[in-house]
Amino acid sequence: MPILFDKEKQVFKLDTSSSSYIMRIYKENYLCHLYYGAKIPDYNLTDHIFKGGFASFCPENINIPGAGFSPGVCTFEFPGENTGDFRESAVSIRNADGNNATDFRYAGHIIYSGKKPIDGMPSLYSESPEDCETLEIEMIDSFTGIKAVLYYTVFEKLSAMTRRVAIVNPTDKSVKIERIYSLCCDFNTRQFDMISLYGRWLKERTVQRQPLFVGTQSVGSKRGSSGHYRNPFGAIVGHDTTEDYGDAYGFNLVYSSNFKFNVEVDGHGGARVLMGINPDTFNWQLNPGDSFDAPEAVMVYSANGLGEMSRTFHRLYLNHLIRGKYKHVKRPVLINNWEATGMNFTGEKLLTFAQRAKELGLDMLVMDDGWFGARDDDTSSLGDWVVNEEKLGCTLKEFTHKVHQIGLKFGIWFEPEMISRDSDLYRAHPDWCVHVPGREKSIARHQYVLDYSRKDVRDHIYSMIKKILSENEIDYVKWDFNRNLSEAGSALLSNENQQEVFHRCVLGTYDIMNRLTTDFPDILLENCSGGGGRFDPAMLYYSPQIWCSDNTDPIERLSIQFGTSLCYPASTMGAHVSASKRAGYETKGNVALWGTFGYELDPNKFTDEEKEIVKEQIKEYHKYYDLIHYGDLYRLIDPLESGYKAAWMFVDEEKTQALFTCVVIKLYEDLVFYLKLKGLDKDAYYRCSQNGEVYSGALLMNAGLNLSDYPNTDGESFKLFFEKIS
Ligand code: DGJ
């Protein structure tokens, strides 16, 4: 079993196929962290409790005489506030007396097979009890009587764990949770680099790496959304860690609102990693008898660099996060009208898209923004989810019927969390948006965010969406979210609960997504937020794919898709061929193939030659679908690092097939450029379907390919497919 408890030594050991996580109940019931890293067979780590007798100015526990035990220098699982540990705490609770001294100690534990869901929140799941094992540790602050439950679930085969925390108030007094991180991981060294993903609209998830410095380094969001600017992902890696070598610890939060990934290096040389709800914008009143669940965090360890870390995240998410029909069913190749028409379309025009798309072999037409209310531009109608029949030239039922008759599936766009200032809904209910009563509301894209902390608001919006989805034949929904929250307040919440708005709103979003996916299990849901502004694991729990970026330029997409792939699988990345001009259709197709694949242009404008390319691309999509969607990704040349080329490959689990893709960004300085492939079976022989030659896996991985033999001009690209023959 992956979770061991040594009663005598009071040690917990959580093993996966390649990692060990070890903690110990120390004197006075402190829950101390001892080790996280490459798998080790034993756990004789008693000397790893850092006594810190010389930790000047650090308070000691008076009941541990002689040991010099200072909370300020020890490594902990769930460190509290204002009780002698001066680093950022994992938890801070303001008790009924008004102070925030918080000190949770071990009180008991249980171990069981499988994993429990979190009520009302997304989390990873087990398909069978053998998939994982869970340790629940009960902690108590004996002074206030407040309890905490720490959940550790070990996915043994995958070198991955999930962590979360629930706070329970069994007392008769209300308290305030002022900080609640979902995971704390105390390392006893600071010899690491920190990796995070930053960006903005059109430039999401760019990789950033820098050595840890003494002090606090963090990334987070205060936007009410995970956001374009930082992703709820962070990694701690050795200074010498590369794609294929060295320690890599990856952390990802299953949450779509304000988060923080916080790494603090203290003066004693340790590094504390915290991940969870951003405490800067959070405060939660916990009344007697109530409990609060913090979102789940995922931890992945790789001893073989970032590549293996990513592949572990991908497998974990494909098997234990993504759900529903389209977990296994092939996703339709769609054409979306947004980049071609904006809101300036008619039903007739879209039917020509559908007709052309069908001729080319595509599967689905998606009607984007502009089909409802009086929405001809972005100034109005969000919240008025009533079909504009004048624009469509018929009812939606008739329109979807026509699309289906052409032989395509039909998808539709919504932005369910928003309300336009110019909308019937806003005129009727000006207090239904997130706002501070009496204070001017900031506007963005002419819209406000609906107050999803309110059930009446959610019920109203969902009833409109449900009506449209029930009365029409709809196969796909694109769920958009085009602004962040400001003046976060709610007309219904009491003063004590106002700081709960951000969290309550995201719980409201999860509620509607849950209703939608439960009521319409056959609908494919794709998330979107001005491109990839809400690309996080929580959204993947509801929608198996997320529009990766509004930037569809294939060269720009390279760094976006490379960054996204650090923890998110190819099958989750919405990637389309567009009319962008920086590269030809071949390269646009090759880049979009690394994703859910589709088109975002006017198909009436294709030349005959382009039509043939598209037909070929659709064939390739089908041919390589399993390999890309379920295979292992190997990043070979990082476009940001190299500046000249990008290259990657997918290899199936049995190592019988491999697809290699290379995109030329600009001419390489040296004429000679050999590239070693990865992930193949060194003892097998592969035929390259492009030139018919046979190579051993060992040759391809050691001698490599001579890239100078292939296209080398800016914007050109090529693919090579290898199939095992012996
Ligand atoms: C932002 C999305 O990213 C686009 O794809 C498109 O759906 C627009 N919103 C529509 O307003």
Q: Does a structural domain hold residue 336? A: yes
The protein residue whose alpha carbon is closest to atom 10 in ligand 1 is: 369
Ligand 1 pocket mutation, candidates 335, 550, 557, criterion most atoms within 8 A of CB: 550
User: pTM of the prediction?
Assistant: 0.98
Choose the final residue of a domain: 320, 336, 360. Answer: 320
659 and 719 in contact (C-beta within 8 Å)?
yes
| Average pLDDT taken over every residue of the chain | 96
Each residue's pLDDT tens digit, 168-212 = 999 999 999 999 999 999 999 999 999 999 999 999 999 999 999
Q: Does a structural domain hold residue 170? A: yes
Residue 153's pLDDT band (cuts 50, 70, 90): very high
298 and 316 in contact (C-beta within 8 Å)?
yes
Query: How far away, in angstroms, is 237 Cα from ligand 1 center?
Result: 36
Secondary structure of residue 462 in the 3-state scheme: helix
Same domain, 263 and 345: no
Q: From CA 432, how far away is CA 425, in angstroms rounded?
A: 9
Q: What residues does 149 pair with on adjacent strands?
A: 138, 166
Is the pLDDT at 526 greater than 70? The verdict is yes
The residue annotated as part of the active site, out of 363, 480, 632, 638, is 480
- Identify whether 266 is a catalytic site residue: no
Same domain, 102 and 31: yes
Secondary structure of residue 585 in the 3-state scheme: helix
Residue 269's pLDDT band (cuts 50, 70, 90): confident
Choose the final residue of a domain: 547, 574, 596. Answer: 547
Residue 51's pLDDT band (cuts 50, 70, 90): low
Total number of domains in the chain: 3
Q: Which amino acid is at 430?
A: P
Residue 67, pLDDT score: 63
Q: Is 550 in the pocket of ligand 1 (CB under 6 A)?
A: yes
Helix 455-471 to helix 396-406 angle (10° resolution) is 50
Q: From CA 31, how far away is CA 22, in angstroms rounded?
A: 11
Residue 289's pLDDT band (cuts 50, 70, 90): very high
Q: Does a structural domain hold residue 574? A: no
Ligand 1 pocket mutation, candidates 203, 344, 366, 368, criterion most atoms within 8 A of CB: 368
Ligand 1 pocket mutation, candidates 378, 478, 480, 576, criterion most atoms within 8 A of CB: 480
Residue 486, pLDDT score: 98
Choose the final residue of a domain: 320, 352, 383. Answer: 320
CB burial readout 440-478, b (16+ within 10 A) else e: eeeeeebbbbbbbbbeebbebbbebbbebbeebebbbbb
Print the domain residue range for 693: 635-724
Here the CATH number for the domain that contains residue 334 is: 3.20.20.70
Query: How far away, in angstroms, is 651 Cα from ligand 1 center?
Result: 33
Q: Is 16 in the pocket of ligand 1 (CB under 6 A)?
A: no
Same domain, 159 and 232: yes
The pair of structure tokens assigned to 311 is: 């592949």
Each residue's pLDDT tens digit, 304-347 = 999 999 999 999 999 999 999 999 999 999 999 999 999 999 99
Angle at 408 (CA atoms; ends 406, 409), nearest 5 degrees: 140
Here the CATH number for the domain that contains residue 63 is: 2.70.98.60
The protein residue whose alpha carbon is closest to atom 1 in ligand 1 is: 530
Kindly report which listed range (42-46, 145-149, 602-606) carries the lowest average pLDDT score: 42-46
519 and 508 in contact (C-beta within 8 Å)?
no
Q: From CA 11, how far away is CA 26, in angstroms rounded?
A: 9
Question: Which atom of ligand 1 is the closest one to the Cα of 368?
Answer: 7
106 and 25 in contact (C-beta within 8 Å)?
yes
Each residue's pLDDT tens digit, 561-578 = 999 999 999 999 999 999
CA 199 to chain CA centroid, Å, is 14
Each residue's pLDDT tens digit, 104-137 = 999 999 999 999 999 999 999 999 989 999 999 9
Helix 608-630 to helix 585-592 angle (10° resolution) is 20
Residue 53's pLDDT band (cuts 50, 70, 90): low
217 and 272 in contact (C-beta within 8 Å)?
no
Each residue's pLDDT tens digit, 294-305 = 999 999 999 999
Q: Does a structural domain hold residue 604? A: no
Same domain, 236 and 124: yes
Residue 52, pLDDT score: 63
Q: What residues does 299 pair with on adjacent strands?
A: 161, 251
Q: From CA 503, how far away is CA 495, in angstroms rounded?
A: 16
Q: Does a structural domain hold residue 440? A: yes
Q: Does a structural domain hold residue 64? A: yes
Query: How far away, in angstroms, is 374 Cα from ligand 1 center?
Result: 17
Same domain, 663 and 677: yes
Query: How many helices (H) does the chain have, and how many strands (E)?
Result: 14, 39
Residue 661's pLDDT band (cuts 50, 70, 90): very high
Residue 48's pLDDT band (cuts 50, 70, 90): confident
Q: Which amino acid is at 338?
A: W
Same domain, 349 and 433: yes
518, with CB counted inside 10 A (0-12, 13-18, 19+), is exposed
DSSP secondary structure letters along 587-641? HHHHHHTTTT-EEES-GGG--HHHHHHHHHHHHHHHHHHHHHHHSEEEEEE-HHH
The pair of structure tokens assigned to 205 is: 């998830």
Selection from 699, 671, 672 nearest residue 685 by Cα: 699
Same domain, 645 and 516: no
CB burial readout 161-174, b (16+ within 10 A) else e: bbbbbbbbbebeee
Residue 69, pLDDT score: 80
Q: Is 547 in the pocket of ligand 1 (CB under 6 A)?
A: yes
- Identify whether 670 is a catalytic site residue: no
DSSP label of 690: T
Integer CA distances (angstroms), 602 to 342, 356, 363, 580, 584, in order: 11, 9, 15, 12, 16
The pair of structure tokens assigned to 593 is: 């193939």
Question: Which atom of ligand 1 is the closest one to the Cα of 547?
Answer: 3
Secondary structure of residue 98 in the 3-state scheme: coil
Same domain, 439 and 299: no
Question: Which atom of ligand 1 is the closest one to the Cα of 413?
Answer: 7
Residue 404: count other Cβ atoms within 10 Å of its Cβ.
15
Q: Is 482 in the pocket of ligand 1 (CB under 6 A)?
A: yes
Q: Does a structural domain hold residue 501? A: yes
Selection from 570, 574, 451, 540 nearest residue 122 by Cα: 540
Same domain, 330 and 292: no
Q: Does a structural domain hold residue 613? A: no
68 and 57 in contact (C-beta within 8 Å)?
no
The percentage of residues in the chain with a pLDDT greater than 90, rounded to a whole number, is 93
The protein residue whose alpha carbon is closest to atom 11 in ligand 1 is: 369
Same domain, 307 and 374: no
Q: List the beta strands (DSSP E) in 189-246.
A: 192-198, 206-211, 215-220, 230-238
Residue 668, pLDDT score: 79
Q: Is 368 in the pocket of ligand 1 (CB under 6 A)?
A: yes
Query: How far away, in angstroms, is 530 Cα from ligand 1 center?
Result: 5
Average pLDDT over residues 588-599: 98
Here the CATH number for the domain that contains residue 648 is: 2.60.40.1180
Residue 667, pLDDT score: 85
Q: Which residues contact 684 (CB under 8 A, 6 or more apart)?
A: 655, 656, 696, 697, 724, 726
DSSP secondary structure letters along 493-555? S-GGGGGGHHHHHHHHHHHHHHHHHHH-TTSEEEE-BTTBTT-SHHHHHH-SEEE--S---HH
Average pLDDT over residues 68-76: 87
Same domain, 14 and 142: yes
The residue annotated as part of the active site, out of 247, 363, 550, 638, is 550
Q: Is 369 in the pocket of ligand 1 (CB under 6 A)?
A: yes
Residue 54, pLDDT score: 57
Same domain, 89 and 213: yes
The percentage of residues in the chain with a pLDDT greater than 70, rounded to a whole number, is 99
The protein residue whose alpha carbon is closest to atom 9 in ligand 1 is: 530
Is the pLDDT at 50 greater than 70? The verdict is no
Helix (H) or strand (E) holding 347: helix 347-360
Q: What residues does 698 pair with on adjacent strands?
A: none
